[in-house]
Amino acid sequence: MANSVRSRNGTEKAHVGDTTIHAPRVREESARRSTLVRQLCAAPQPVIAITAPAGYGKTTVLTQWAERDAREFVWVLLDEPGAAASLARLAAQFRELDGPLVLVLDNAHLLGAGVAAGAVANLADQLPDGARLVLSGREPATLPLARLRAQGLLLEVGPEQLALSGAEARRLVHAIDPTMSAPAVAELNHRAEGWPVGVVLCALSAKTAAHAAEPTAEPETVDRFVTDYLRLELLDDLTPGQLRFLTRCSVLDRLSGPLCDAMLDRRDSARQLEHLERCGLFLVPLDRHRGWYRFHRMVRQVLEAELELREPGLAAELRTAAADWFEAHQLPELAVDHVLAAGDLDRAAVMVAQLALPAYSSGRASSVERWLAALDDPAILFRHPSLAAFGTWVHATRGRPAEAERWAASATDARLEPGRPGSEWVTLARASLCGDGIERMLTDARRGVELVPADSPLRSRALLLDGCARLLAGDARADPILRQALERSTAAGAAESAMLAASELTLLAIDRADWDEAADLSRLAQAATRRGRLAEYPVAAMPSAIAARIAVYQGDRAGADHWLAQAAPLLPRLTYAVPWLAVQARLEAGRARLGLGDARRALALCSEIDRVFEQRGDLGVLVAQAAELRRLALANLDAGTGWDFALTAAELRLLPLLSTCLSFREIAGGLHLSRNTVKTQALSVYRKLGVSSRSEAVRAAGERGLLEAGRDLTRPAR
């Protein structure tokens, strides 16, 4: 074992062997690791283990610590296993030195089990007060670290602590290339996962490419500088068996012993993974018992490239085997990614058609969109119409009308006959787009309910569309059907359908002036939104806009502002692809805006509704409701004043009748309502208009153009 002992300032303190090794100096371009260095200076633990693969800056951190700490540093470089006698002499000399010291054993992973490790363990037990023993290496040393850890005597610093922070990465990169933008540095550090040498090499490569007027590497590829480094530091030290194992496993984004055994037809994968991880080969444990691992991102990409170089074409076979294992272990979503990567698109289409609805309805839109993008092939969609139909809904509700219509055409082109698998999906896709008016939507939705089996996961969506179509057509049976949809969706965990069903029921409750039930239903819609992590879905604009309107009614301006702010960024993505939802959400937002006295924004929403009507004109009762909103907004704008609360459609219908000589009982009979309901609506009108009598309400409504708006609601919709 060749080693040397030197102080932090370079003054020689003692020798073991014939070779003198100086502690490396900090280079100007090295990242300053101030936070970690402060932690090491103040660490109360007598033993510190710094363990990480090559390139994580272990030596840099130790050198910066030595420059900052007042204690003398004794630095020993180990270059061969064993040598217990040398360690014993070192321990004796170390105990004779005066003052608090820090003893650094560099390359501690070279300590073999047995006598050498025992000698260092004894040294750890005999440290003087204030002294520290530092074990730095690529894998955990063979010391009794578990005992030291349990006794609170060990501080462990690994790749997670050594990874560069955003600020550290910027300082390091700007020492190489001051012109690199902050977002580019952040992306570079993300790709490198904070691995310092990866950041440096990528920065150097980017600078070289810029000077050579060459394009930089795509984010999914590894730079050649990094590849060369990893081959030198990692691959060249592996045995042929280890290299073959790692390159074949590189097709996996997560690894476990049983999975690798099944994929590679072997029985020792768990032991291999644990050994390779302990050797510092960029394997990251994903759990405490080391059942699952993943590769460092850049290392995995290098290994994948090496696999294709050494065994061309094998990757697809390995991915298929991995997919089989995931599917057999009830992990179908993980299986899909491997089937897609293997290029088996028909198998993937069948799997996605089964998985996409529950995944999308419970907030995993990013996974679903990734699958759909990989399957966006006319031939695939023609052979799998149920997939095309579901993709139609996703594209429509994500604000992509052109894609929605293209996928819908692929589904329809299959010319499915009634009763054939997939026809229910196509029928419901047509209903959701409402491309041929409300009557056709109602026909398709009813047919969809007939086609979908009672125990199908699609049942709740079929009921939802049937209820929505009936609501838009003014059919009183919408309420019980939407309640069924809400019950089925909630029981099935279909959060998106539950959110929309509760929202539509809220509108019905508002229309009959049952504000207490409306508030309860609105809370159910918001709960479904949270449960399904749907807050960023464009359709979530609907429950937010409704909640704003209820807040206006309750006199909660702050609440209304909050919910309108939630809806605002989502509304532009709710397009004519789902016209009924696009109009409903804007109507509710417009009514809330008007209730807050913001007629100009209400009119702006009316203009957006008009653009939807240009694409999809026949939207049933929504046409009259939009006309009502525009009339109210214009009247309010002309008056130059705001009013506190927007009137509901039911309250507007009541206004012209209040101007007659009819009693509340007679009005109730004509509207097929109870006298109490009419009285409640009238009192709500008085409160909103700031009046106290029927005659004052009629006068105030006439001044604002509300009487004519109410009459419009009683006329047939165009």
134 near 104, Cβ under 8 Å? yes
Q: Which residues are within 8 A (CB) of 625 and not within 5 positions of it... i.e. 6 or more apart?
A: 587, 649
Instruction: Give the burial class of 220: count Cβ atoms within 10 A of its Cβ; 0-12 exposed, 13-18 middle, 19 or more buried.
Output: exposed
Give domain 649-714's CATH architecture: Orthogonal Bundle (1.10)
Residues 516, 513: Cα–Cα separation, whole Å: 9
Residues 306, 554: Cα–Cα separation, whole Å: 65
Q: Which residues are within 8 A (CB) of 659 and not within 5 positions of it... i.e. 6 or more apart?
A: 698, 702, 707
The dihedrals phi and psi of 546, each to the nearest 5 degrees, come to -65, -40
Give domain 234-343's CATH architecture: Orthogonal Bundle (1.10)
249 near 255, Cβ under 8 Å? yes
| Tokens, residue 474 | 């003014």
The dihedrals phi and psi of 213, each to the nearest 5 degrees, come to 60, 35
Q: Which amino acid is at 375?
A: L
Q: What angle do CA 6, 9, 11 make, to 5 degrees?
A: 50
DSSP result, 637-697? HHHT---SSPPPHHHHHHHHHHTSS--HHHHHHHHT--HHHHHHHHHHHHHHHT-SSHHHH
646 near 595, Cβ under 8 Å? yes
352: left (phi over 0), alpha (psi -120 to 50) or beta: alpha
pLDDT of residue 713: 59
671 near 679, Cβ under 8 Å? no
Residues 487, 80: Cα–Cα separation, whole Å: 70
| Tokens, residue 332 | 């179908």
| Tokens, residue 485 | 């949809």
DSSP result, 549-607? HHHHHTT-HHHHHHHHHHHTTTGGGS-TTSHHHHHHHHHHHHHHHHHTT-HHHHHHHHH
| Tokens, residue 160 | 């997670």
Residues 591, 548: Cα–Cα separation, whole Å: 9
Low-confidence ranges of the chain (pLDDT < 50): 1-26, 28-29, 212-220, 417, 419, 641-644, 716-718
How many Cβ atoms sit within 10 Å of the Cβ of residue 153? 17
To which residue do tokens 């010291």 refer? 101
Residues 532, 500: Cα–Cα separation, whole Å: 12
Domain boundaries 5-162, corresponding CATH code:
3.40.50.300
404 near 392, Cβ under 8 Å? yes
Report domain extents, the chain. Answer: 5-162, 166-231, 234-343, 649-714
Taking CA atoms, 152 is separated from 129, 156, 260, in Å, by 16, 11, 36
Q: Which residues are within 8 A (CB) of 322 and not within 5 positions of it... i.e. 6 or more apart?
A: 251, 252, 259, 263, 335, 338
DSSP result, 223-274? -HHHHHHHHHHTGGGS-HHHHHHHHHHTT-SSEEHHHHHHHHT-S-HHHHHH
How many Cβ atoms sit within 10 Å of the Cβ of residue 201? 24
Task: Based on DSSP, count helices (H) and strands (E) in the chain, helices before strands.
Answer: 37, 10
Residues 404, 394: Cα–Cα separation, whole Å: 8
Strand order in the sheet with 283-285: 255-256, 292-295, 283-285
Please report, to the nearest 10 degrees, the dihedral formed by the alpha carbons of residues 314, 320, 321, 324 taken in order: 180
Residues 217, 302: Cα–Cα separation, whole Å: 14
Q: Which amino acid is at 475?
A: D
The three-state secondary structure class of 279 is: coil
353 near 394, Cβ under 8 Å? no
To which residue do tokens 């298929």 refer? 320
Residues 126, 403: Cα–Cα separation, whole Å: 72
Residues 348, 559: Cα–Cα separation, whole Å: 45
| Tokens, residue 140 | 């955990």
Taking CA atoms, 331 is separated from 86, 170, 269, 337, 366, in Å, by 54, 40, 20, 11, 17
To which residue do tokens 């965990």 refer? 493
326 near 332, Cβ under 8 Å? yes
pLDDT of residue 246: 94
Nearest alpha-carbon partner for 616 in 389, 392, 405 = 405
Evaluate whether 234-343 and 649-714 have a shared fold: yes
Nearest alpha-carbon partner for 154 in 23, 305, 51 = 51
Write down the pTM of the prediction: 0.72
Distance from the first to the final alpha carbon of the chain: 94
Residues 168, 637: Cα–Cα separation, whole Å: 55
